Every structure is written in structure tokens, then in C-alpha cells.
């Protein structure tokens, strides 16, 4: 493939545009880790949402999806289509709770929700586990995807393609997809390592400038490590499935910790340990192959079942978090649902609202996404009647969501903005 002068002009313009954005915000990002990682918490909701969607579409996405469809037909898409359910759940049930928590990373949440040494261990372990090996596997498969594209387009070997990636001689469309995910993953991993490990356990009294420099160094190191991981990865789909099976069953405890006061730090620790152990045991001892659709399904179902039973047992057999910790958490985050009713009563605070309206919105949100997806597909295939029905269902779901949100008054959350910057574990400012 030969690139024309116009091609090179477009590529150069793209990178100059990105460089300009970086230079514009560079000085502000040096001020503190909050600016470096979160842009001072001033990113508007629409930009944050767009960034999250862009992050899920990297150079690996079209390659792995094509491979899934080639191997399993259109049904192979359900490996990632099912993520819609958790994504929409985050929008309607968890977005406001995360905002109220006021944490920099989800790992930091551990010491807001739990107490003592178990909470500290959980935060430190998850920071290193997710920030380095798991994050570098994700970075590795994104790099691998870009390398495969470059090898095909430029007719070069893997080593030369890696040099191209380091130097960014990339093609505009895939470069944008690649960089959106690489940038997010590097930011995500470095924030764990610095905010939740280095700053919490290694150097507690450093200046903000010190932590920003450390963040820059860690970001570069993560990229180097990810390139080393890339050399040892063969397939992107295999890496996807590796992370899915080793974390199967942990999702329920991560969701319910917001809505059930009884969950403690050991619940999360046991879920992570059992999920990884069970999935590895089934693959090594029973030879269940994650590349085989049936084996992968059994692997996921059995791992989820055993992990769920294990963390529930650990939760009920270990002590609950101290009452003061639970009350402070409830005051700051104000979770809805019946799971905090007992704590709210002891604190002399009103119980949270019912979760039913937001669960209805969750169902409608899933209908909106899936109906739009299938409706557009049907219209493309000229199946007009089915396409119109799906699109009409999506529009109706969108209208109902809009009405429901106006009824519950989400804008009222703005009145609680001062609480977002309260220190974890303390009663928020009123």
C-alpha cells in the first residue's frame, strides 16, 4: 500500500491537532494529580461519556469482533453485546453514587466503604493487581491489534511494527481508535499505582508536583511493560477471554457493596481470590478450553456460581464493618434501596428511596440500545418492517426514560455538590 501526499497531510494534521491539545492543557496538568488524572473534575458529562465510549473502541475492537463473528456467527457478538446491561446499570444506579463518593479511583473507594487493615490491604492489592498486570494485558492486546494492522498495511514484521508504534507513524482512523484506549488505560493504571499505592503506602507527605512527576514516570513505564506483554500475546480474543474468566463472579459483590451494608472488605478479597483460582483450576485440571464456545460458557457459569457462594459465605462468617464507618458512608453517599435501612435508622437519617424507578430505566435503557442496534441492522439488510418496529421501540424507550428522569429530579443532586469534596470517612459538609 502506498500513501499519497494527501494521506500524509491528513495524518500530520491529526497528530498536530492532538499535540496542540496536549500543549494547551500541559501546564494545568502539572498542578496536581487531580488535574493530571481527572482534569480537575471539570469535564462535562457529555465529554466524559463520549470519552468512555471511545475508549471501548480501539484498534483491537474491529479485529476481535471480526474474529468472533467468523468463528461463531453473528451470535459471537454477544460476548461483548452483553456489556450493555452493566453499562446501562452504571448510568442509572451508580453514576450519582460515584459522584457523591468523591474518590479519584474506584480502588480508593475501598477505604471509604471499609475500615482497618483489610480495607488497606484491599486497596493496595487492587491498585497493583489492576494497575500493572491487568492493565498491561489490556494495553498489550491493543498494541497487538495495531501491530497486526501495520504488518498488513506496510508489509513489515512484528518488531518493525512495534518501532512504528513507539514512533507513532500511524494511520488516522485506527490511530484515533488506538490512542483513545491507550491514553485511557495508561491514565487508569498510573492513577492506581500513584494514588492508591505509592501515595497511600510509600510516600504520604510528598508535594503535588512530586506526585505528578511520579505519575508521568509510571505512565511511561506502563507503556514499556505493555509492549513487552504484546510480544507474548498471540490473539486478542484470547486475552479478552482470559480477563473475563479470571474475574467471573466478582461483579455481584462489586455491585451490591453499594446497596447492602453487610458486605465487608473480606467479601471482595474472597471473590477475587476464588474467581481466579476456580477459573485456573477448571482450565488446567479439567482442560476446559476458553476458545471452545461450550467450554467457555461452562467455565463462566461454574466460576460465577462457586465464586458467589464463596463470597456470600465469607461475608456472613466475618464481622461487619464498624457502625461508625457505615453511618459515615451512608451520610456521604446516600445509597438508595432497603439494604441500608437499618443503618439509616441508627443514624437518625431518612432511608433511601426505592430502586424501582431506576431499575425500570435500566430495562428501558437496554431496550433503547438493543432495539437501535437490531433496528439499524434490519434496515441495512432491507428488512423494512422489522427494522421500523425495532427503531420505534427504541424511540419509545428513549421517551419513557426522559419522562422518568424528569420525575425523579436528577438535577436536585446539584444541591449536594459541596458534599463531593468531603474527606472519605467523615461527615460531609452541609
User: Any idea what DSSP says for residue 103?
Assistant: -
Predicted local distance difference test score (pLDDT) of residue 420: 43
- Residue pair 335/259 in contact (Cβ under 8 Å)? The answer is yes
In angstroms, rounded to a whole number, what is the distance separating the alpha carbons of residues 404 and 388?
A: 24
How far is it, in rounded angstroms, from Cα 71 to Cα 293? 10
Residue that finishes a domain, picked among 233, 249, 271: 233
Last residue of one domain, picked from the residues 178, 198, 233: 233
| Cα separation values, 56 from 25, 81, 227, 406, Å | 24, 12, 20, 29
| CB 249 within 8 Å of CB 304 | yes
Asked whether residue 390 is domain-assigned, the answer is: yes
Q: Determine the structural domain holding residue 363 and report its residue range.
A: 355-430
In a domain, 270, yes or no: no
Contacts of 218 (CB under 8 A, 6+ apart): 189, 190, 193, 194, 198
Considering the entire predicted model, what is its pTM? 0.77
Residue 9 falls inside a structural domain: yes
Alpha helices for 130-247 (secondary structure H): 135-154, 158-167, 172-191, 208-231, 236-246
Question: What pLDDT shows up at residue 1?
Answer: 53
- Looking at the fold, whether 211 and 73 belong to one and the same domain comes out as yes
Q: Same domain, yes or no, for 70 and 218?
A: yes
- Tally of domains in the chain: 2
Give me the pLDDT at residue 415, please: 44
Residue 369 covered by a domain: yes
Q: Which of 233, 267, 296 is the last residue of a domain?
A: 233
Residue 389: predicted pLDDT: 97
- Mean pLDDT for the chain? 82
Residues of the chain with pLDDT under 50: 168, 170-172, 411-412, 414-430
In a domain, 248, yes or no: no
List Cα–Cα distances, 288 to 235, 248, 282, 285, in angstroms: 18, 15, 6, 8
Q: Where are the alpha helices (DSSP H) in 257-383?
A: 265-285, 293-317, 323-333, 341-347, 356-380
**Residue 175 belongs to a domain:** yes
User: Residue 30 has what pLDDT?
Assistant: 63
Nearest to 35 by CA among 250, 164, 296, 216: 216
Instruction: Tell me what pLDDT residue 54 has.
Output: 66
Residue 418 counted as domain residue: yes
Amino acid at each position: 500500500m502506498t500513501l499519497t501526499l494527501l494521506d500524509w497531510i491528513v495524518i500530520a494534521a491529526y497528530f498536530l491537532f492532538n499535540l496542540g491539545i496536549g500543549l494547551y492543557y500541559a501546564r494545568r496538568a502539572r498542578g496536581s494529580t487531580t488535574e493530571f488524572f481527572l482534569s480537575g473534575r471539570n469535564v462535562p458529562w457529555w465529554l466524559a461519556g463520549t470519552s468512555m465510549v471511545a475508549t471501548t473502541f480501539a484498534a483491537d475492537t474491529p479485529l476481535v469482533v471480526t474474529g468472533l463473528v467468523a468463528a461463531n456467527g453473528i451470535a459471537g457478538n454477544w460476548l461483548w453485546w452483553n456489556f450493555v446491561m452493566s453499562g446501562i446499570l452504571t448510568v442509572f444506579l451508580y453514576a450519582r453514587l460515584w459522584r457523591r463518593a468523591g474518590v479519584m479511583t474506584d480502588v480508593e473507594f475501598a477505604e471509604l466503604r471499609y475500615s482497618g487493615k483489610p480495607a488497606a490491604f484491599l486497596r493496595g492489592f487492587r491498585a497493583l493487581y489492576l494497575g500493572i498486570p491487568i492493565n498491561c494485558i489490556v494495553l498489550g492486546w491493543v498494541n497487538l491489534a495495531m501491530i497486526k494492522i501495520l504488518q498488513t498495511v506496510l508489509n513489515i514484521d512484528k518488531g518493525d511494527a512495534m518501532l512504528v508504534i513507539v514512533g507513532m507513524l500511524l494511520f488516522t482512523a485506527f490511530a484515533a481508535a488506538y490512542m483513545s484506549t491507550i491514553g485511557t488505560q495508561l491514565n487508569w493504571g498510573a492513577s492506581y499505582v500513584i494514588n492508591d499505592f505509592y501515595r497511600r503506602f510509600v510516600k504520604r507527605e510528598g508535594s503535588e508536583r512530586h506526585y505528578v512527576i511520579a505519575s508521568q514516570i509510571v505512565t511511561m513505564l506502563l507503556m514499556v511493560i505493555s509492549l513487552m506483554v504484546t510480544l507474548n500475546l498471540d490473539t486478542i480474543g484470547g486475552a479478552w477471554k482470559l480477563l473475563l474468566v479470571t474475574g467471573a463472579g466478582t461483579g455481584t459483590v462489586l455491585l451490591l457493596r453499594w446497596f447492602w451494608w453487610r458486605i465487608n472488605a473480606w467479601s471482595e478479597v474472597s471473590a477475587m481470590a476464588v474467581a481466579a483460582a476456580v477459573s485456573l483450576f477448571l482450565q488446567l485440571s479439567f482442560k476446559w478450553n476458553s476458545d471452545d464456545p461450550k467450554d467457555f460458557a461452562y467455565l463462566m457459569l461454574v466460576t460465577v456460581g462457586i465464586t458467589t457462594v464463596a463470597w456470600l459465605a465469607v461475608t456472613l462468617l466475618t464481622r461487619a464493618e464498624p457502625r461508625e464507618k457505615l453511618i459515615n458512608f451512608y451520610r456521604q453517599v446516600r445509597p438508595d434501596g432497603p439494604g441500608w435501612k437499618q443503618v439509616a435508622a441508627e443514624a437518625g437519617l431518612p432511608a433511601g428511596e426505592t430502586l424501582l424507578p431506576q431499575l425500570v430505566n435500566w430495562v428501558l435503557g437496554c431496550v433503547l440500545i438493543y432495539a437501535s442496534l437490531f433496528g439499524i441492522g434490519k434496515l441495512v439488510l432491507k428488512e423494512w418492517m422489522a427494522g421500523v418496529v425495532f427503531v420505534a421501540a427504541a424511540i419509545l424507550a428513549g421517551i419513557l426514560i426522559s419522562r422518568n428522569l424528569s420525575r425523579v429530579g436528577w438535577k436536585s443532586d446539584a444541591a449536594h455538590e459541596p458534599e463531593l469534596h468531603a474527606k472519605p470517612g467523615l461527615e460531609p459538609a452541609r
